[in-house]
Amino acid sequence: MAAATADNLAVLGFSDILNQNVAEREYSPARLRMPCIYWVWNCIPPADACVDSDKLETAWRAAALEHPIYATIFALDDTSEGFLQVVLRNPTFSIQQITTKDGNMTAAHIPAMRPRPKWTKASPRHMLTICTNVATGQVACRFDICHTLYCTNVPCPGCHETSAVR
């Protein structure tokens, strides 16, 4: 990999490339047992109010732009045994809104049943799914995150098959 300069970072669409120090390497994402995980939250509004899923999406996009971790991909460093934290200049944020009309199903059930997203090699591996149950008004969110390292076109050993680039 060529040395990071202002010129080649701009051409590649990166805003920064950070070498990870020895302590950070010990917590390398490739060393995690389960690098792809998700969390589900129920959104509970104040009394006599409802959760506006469009406003929730707008708020998430604004918050994600403020935090570089949501614009980060990881790659092996060819010059050492560590890895590079690559911060993308203009990242895309994966957000999906889904709805259900099944009054027997809570909004939290829907995101928990969804398959893991298919990640691309050059995009941040984070996805927010907002599920609204129109019959009950309930809203839940699922946040998927994957910090696998990529070696050429395949994930490194120990990474989930669902995050493979094919």
pLDDT at 149: 56
Give the rounded distance of the alpha carbon of 115 from its chain centre.
14
pLDDT at 147: 63
pLDDT at 57: 92
Residue 1 counted as domain residue: no
Residue 44 counted as domain residue: yes
C-alpha closest to that of 45 among 113, 107, 110:
107
Domain with 66, as residue range(s), is 6-163
Beta strands 14-19 and 154-155 are unpaired
Helix (H, G, I), strand (E, B) or coil at 166: coil
pLDDT at 70: 79
When divided into structural domains, the chain yields a total of 1
Distance, in Å, from the CA atom of 157 to the CA atom of 150, rounded to the nearest integer, reads: 10
Residue 55 counted as domain residue: yes
Q: What is the mean pLDDT of each run of 10 residues along the chain (166 residues)?
A: 45 50 42 60 84 91 82 72 74 85 77 74 77 88 73 41 29
pLDDT at 15: 52
pLDDT at 13: 52
Residue 104 counted as domain residue: yes
Residue 43 counted as domain residue: yes
Domain containing residue 12: CATH number: 3.30.559.10
